[in-house]
Amino acid sequence: MEWETVIGLEVHVQLATKSKIFSGASTQFGAEPNTQACAIDLGFPGVLPVLNTETVTMAIKLGLGINADITQRSIFARKNYFYPDLPKGYQISQHEHPVVSKGFLDITLDDGSVKRIHITRAHLEEDAGKSLHEDFHGQSGIDLNRAGTPLLEIVSEPDIRSAKEAVAYLKTVHSLVRYLEISDGNMQEGSFRCDANVSVRRKGDSKLGTRTELKNINSFRFVERAIEFEVERQIALIESGGKVMQETLLYDPSKNETRTMRSKEEANDYRYFPDPDLLPLLITAEQIEAIRKQLPELPQQKRQRFTEQYGLSQYDATVMASNRATADFFETVVKESGNQPKLAANWVMGELSAALNKADQDITESPVTAKQLGQLVLRIADNTISGKIAKTIFEALWNQEGDVDHIIEKRGLKQVTDSSAIEALIDKIMAANPQQVMDYRAGKDKLFSFFVGQAMKESGGKVNPQQLNAILIEKLK
């Protein structure tokens, strides 16, 4: 039998506020354990939570970005469960009336097709603390710095049909929250992580299979591997006569396997009820419209503009618009290059991207500025230098040896475009290689690349390739 995979994702986005969702405690990453949890975060007797207004603004931005309904009267609830790193014994979250509901995102798949993923809801909640198991020799340490950190949980419909689709959706959400500047999206620091609900069913069956939940995965690669493993495990279990149990699983990337964490709870297990310390959240239509006017150009809009304004392919536009920093960098390169968008995109995706990956740096940390790269592209376009020489200049820019024109002048890298000089160079090479000239004229056309290579070697790569080819063809006749 052929099987169909059904996946729904719950994405937990840490909001980029300086203070927590219900207290003034800091959210800064990397502090000493238990130095950023105040009495409100710990639920001490007599304390009262106060909602951080900025978290509401950020939630509305996300809702507008996913074409969703904004709930004008939403409720905060207490989600009751015991866990060592949940100091109050409950989590303040939203249950029946989330701030964002019924939206969608369009994702682009590997084959270029577009698929719409529907989003059930996005609700505000506080994070729990963190249990640390590595350094305590058989014991666990509890760090409550994260307790009360503001989260926006984005819940998709079970519209995703493969691990690759899941990754495409996650990357789309990741790009969006960074464009909106509501989260830094740092997966290593836990600012962007997801739970994956996975089930399988026989193709053509309309009834959903029993799902398992893969908990707290914070890497695109691990999400793909975890889902693929879990799908294979469920299919093998069913085909051998077993039954999938509804449970929460942890993924171990070192062993590439899932293991049981606990049985999966239902909503009634949490005994949700409205938090008596928090009034209903009321949002006016005027507030929503004011926030809508603050929205930047979003990824999908930018991709479309890049194809229309710059003539980029869908692939190039997608890469250039993948995040706001890359898009801004690219547009500066285009401006400085005298409007050479395709060449600009090639250099951003090629030489620059390779150098940044090798140095493990983000584009915002690039030693080569967008203005410098634009000047380099301009000098290729106006035939001052060749593409090959440009790579040498790029390396000098990376090492911060000055601006483009200074490096060209200092190293004598200006391209040879004088036709008489190129003719003299070719005459010299042909005189030095009479046998190859005879063989070429006898029909060995592949020797043409030999003469091009000799000319480039003799000129130090500075001769204009188009002029060289044209003159060489005439000379070899």
Got the DSSP string for 283-343? --HHHHHHHHTT----HHHHHHHHHHHH---HHHHHHHTSSHHHHHHHHHHHHHTTS-HHH
Q: What is the mean pLDDT of residues 229-243?
A: 95
Confidence category of residue 268, pLDDT binned at 50, 70, 90:
confident
Residues in Cβ contact with 384 at an 8 Å cutoff, skipping those fewer than 6 apart: 408, 414, 415
Q: What is the pLDDT of residue 397?
A: 96
List of domains in the chain: 3-276 (no CATH), 296-411 (no CATH), 419-476 (1.10.10.410)
Q: What is the pLDDT of residue 421?
A: 81
Residue 328 above 90 pLDDT? yes
Confidence category of residue 136, pLDDT binned at 50, 70, 90:
confident
Q: What is the pLDDT of residue 264?
A: 63
> Which of 458, 451, 424, 425 shows the shortest CA–CA distance to 436?
451
Q: What is the pLDDT of residue 138?
A: 82
Count of Cβ atoms closer than 10 Å to residue 435 Cβ: 8
Among 230-239, 253-262, 345-354, the minimum mean pLDDT is found in 253-262
Residue 418 above 90 pLDDT? no
Q: Radius of gyration over alpha carbons of the chain, in Å?
A: 29
- CB of 476 within 8 A of CB of 451? yes
Torsion of CA 153, 159, 162, 165, to 10 degrees: -60
Count of Cβ atoms closer than 10 Å to residue 396 Cβ: 20
Which amino acid type is present at position 477? Answer: K
pLDDT tens-digit map of 1-28: 699 999 999 999 999 999 999 999 999 9
d(CA 291, CA 282): 15
Which amino acid type is present at position 50? Answer: V
Q: What is the pLDDT of residue 267?
A: 64
pLDDT tens-digit map of 102-117: 999 999 888 888 999 9
Confidence category of residue 137, pLDDT binned at 50, 70, 90:
confident
Whole-prediction pTM value?
Answer: 0.84
